[in-house]
Amino acid sequence: MSISVVKNSNLDADRAIRTASALSVRGLTVSYGQTPAIFSVDMTVRTGAMTAIVGPNGAGKSTLLKAALGVVKPLAGTVSVFGQPLARMRDRIAYVPQRASVDWDFPTRVIDVVMMGMYRKLGLLGRIRASHRAQAMACLDRVGMSDFATRQIGQLSGGQQQRVFLARALAQDADIYVLDEPFAGVDAATEKAIIAVLKELRDTGRTVVAVHHDLTTVPDYFDDVVLLNTQIVAAGLVSKTFTEQNLQATYGGRLATARADLESTAG
Amino acid sequence: MGAEFVALSLPSMLIGICVAVACALPGNFLLLRRQALIGDAISHVVLPGIVVAFLLTGLVATGPMLVGAAAAAVLAVVAIEAIRRLGRIEAGAAMGVVFTAMFAGGVLLLEQSDTSNVHLDVEHALFGNLESLIWLDATGWRSLLDLDALATIPVELPRMAVALIVICAFLYVFWRPLSVSTFDEGYAQGLGIATAPLGLALVVISAIAAVAAFDAVGSIIVIAMFICPPAAARMVTNRLGHQVAWSAAFAALAAIIGYVLAGYGPLWLGAYGSVSAAGMIATVSGVILAIAALAGPHRAPTA
């Protein structure tokens, strides 16, 4: 009798956590070949917080994001968004893929890329109205790119391309923003602009999850951190989880290398 | 002159334009997805499909040939996927293996079977017989309004027109998901777009163009039109919508210029007879591509 009571209260608590979490994955396993890229990952992303996913190269960080977004099909596991299955909650999530994942010589202009963020709302044949264009321009303005609206995307610098990707996600007007290495290969001004936008999103109740490489900026930028190396090593508040010991456990012998790389790129 | 033109040249020219545009439109997306070779593959594998259909039915009729060609195209797509996945071979190589093998098989079948009394041979498969599609009952431009005369217009023209309309409708309706998934597949999947079925639909649409065109014009023109007009158009503009429009214009231009040059070019040069219209149209599309490559405003990668 007493056991079942305990069980029930545990279930209730679990349910409460799940509904409070913006994004929750359970037992997520993805494999591209023989070895799993991520294995049995449980992750809970707090609503209204900025969460960094950190880990060495090949740890499965991008894979975790893609599986959570349904971009990669997992072998096992479930994803829920605000306690609901992902398929029903697509409108609530905006994805910013790695900049290197697309062909920037594609025949399209900056404003056209941002408009892609509204395709779900517009549907197949919905008319694009002046208000939609104005909205897209406003998103470009937020990332400081409104002067580039009619440029071909190949003419942009890496940082400018990254900002356009962020503007496209902003155009979705989502509740959760999922970013894959948003600061990879961008200039300092862009990094500042992007982090300002992300913090603004968080401060208006949105949830931000980003794969992040630069260990030195994790405490400045993020509230929560997930340390990943194929499996979850540790997860929680940056102040409690982002410890030397946990980092050592995540990176192993590569921790020194990871830091040296950062110093050489910073210098 | 008018009557002769309407009876002898107008149907062929219109068919040529329909074929060129029908192939060029989906070709834009194949090219941007780096799948241009798929058009090449499809137009080759159509041959064994048509030969098998002929052997089974014993007649060169539109229906069975289209079914046979479509079946061969589907078989080829499955075989390419299978080789790519099971053999872990790069897509281009898998396509090369499949379409050359199937085309060669088609040629062997054709040589072994008795097709001497029907119009089915390797040359026909490559170049079609665009010039022979004449409109016997036409007496002038007014025949275009005469229902009785229209009934005898070469069947390839309405067939190709229907294929073109289907292709245009597909691209119009699925423009947004197609363009997003071509540019950024991961993001498109994040939006909930089923990119794999969409990609397959694009291949099917390309197959429709190739199969419908094959009988009238052969495979050379199909292969050229999938690639040359879109590639030329890419060098003229930096916007996807404009590129597709330019590619249709280049395709139509190649069809018209090519047809006229094939019919009258040798005469102008003082020679007799004419050359293959399909071959000339394909050549002109190549020349247009060369001009765009030399003089197009957006010919170099901008990065």
Nearby residues of A102 by Cβ (< 8 Å), 6 or more positions away: B183, B184
- Examine residue A16 and state whether it is found in any structural domain, yes or no: no
Cα separation of the two ends of chain A: 64
For residue B286, give how far its alpha carbon lies from the nearest alpha carbon of chain A (Å): 21
Place of tokens 């990669």: A72
Residue B176 has pLDDT above 90, yes or no: yes
A70 part of contact set with chain B, CB < 8 Å: yes
Compute CA distances A69 → A179, A211, B37, B220, whole Å. Answer: 11, 14, 31, 43
More confident residue, A76 or B50: A76
- Decide if A98 is inside a domain: yes
Number of structural domains in chain A: 1
Residues A198 and A182: their CA atoms lie apart, in Å, by: 10
Range in A43-47, B125-129, B133-137, B221-225 with the lowest mean pLDDT: B125-129
Residue A1 lies in a domain: no
Cross-chain residue pair B183–A168, CB shorter than 8 Å: no
Range in B54-63, B191-200, B234-243, B269-278 with the lowest mean pLDDT = B54-63
Burial class (CB in 10 A: 0-12, 13-18, 19+), B4: exposed
Contact of A185 with chain B, judged by CB distance below 8 Å, is answered with no
CB A198 within 8 A of CB A212: no
Gap from B137 CA to chain A (nearest CA, Å): 42
Domain ranges of chain B: 2-216
- Helix, coil or strand: residue B70: helix
> What is the domain range of residue A45?
22-266
User: Three-state SS string across A137-183, please?
Assistant: HHHHHHCCCHHHCCCEHHHCCHHHHHHHHHHHHHHCCCCEEEEECCC
Residue A3 lies in a domain: no
pLDDT of residue B118: 61
Domain of A194, CATH number, reads 3.40.50.300
Contact A107 B301 (CB under 8 A): no
Buried b / exposed e across A8-25, counting CB within 10 Å, b at 16+? eeeeeeeeeeeeebbbbb
Taking only the tens place, the pLDDT of each residue in A29-44 is: 999 878 889 999 999 9
A79-137 tens-digit pLDDT: 999 999 998 999 999 999 999 899 999 999 999 999 999 999 999 998 999 999 999 99
In a domain, residue A15? The reply is no
With CA atoms as reference, report the closest residue to A169 among A221, A131, A224, A207. Answer: A207
Residue A122 has φ and ψ, to the nearest 5°, of -75, -25
Answer yes or no: is pLDDT of A13 > 80: no
Among A69, A108, A124, the residue with its CB nearest the CB of B190 is A69
Do A152 and B302 count as a contact with CB atoms less than 8 A apart? yes
Return the CATH class of domain B2-216.
mainly alpha
The full DSSP string for B173-194 is HTHHHHHHHHH-HHHHHHTT--
What is residue A126's DSSP assignment?
P
CB B183 to CB A108 under 8 A?
yes
**Cα–Cα distance measured from residue B75 to residue B67, given in angstroms and rounded to the nearest whole number:** 12
Which of B85-99, B126-140, B223-237 has the least mean pLDDT? B126-140
Chain A residue with the nearest C-alpha to that of B186: A71
Please write the tens of the pLDDT for every residue from A164-189. 999 999 999 999 999 999 999 899 99
Predicted pLDDT of residue B285: 96
Q: What angle do CA B164, B169, B171 make, to 5 degrees?
A: 95
> What are the C-alpha distances in Å from B201 to residues B31, B167, B208?
15, 11, 10
Judged by CB atoms closer than 8 Å, whether chains meet at B183 and A87 is answered as no
Q: Is residue B62 a contact partner of residue B160, using CB atoms and an 8 Å limit? A: no
Q: Name the band, by pLDDT with cuts 50, 70 and 90, for residue A7.
A: very low
pLDDT for the residue A18:
45
pLDDT at residue A20 greater than cutoff 70: no
- The answer to whether B14 touches B217, Cβ cutoff 8 Å, is no
* Tens of pLDDT, residues B132-172: 888 888 888 888 888 888 888 888 899 899 999 999 999 99
Q: Which of A30-34, B125-129, B238-242, B250-254 has the lowest mean pLDDT?
A: B125-129
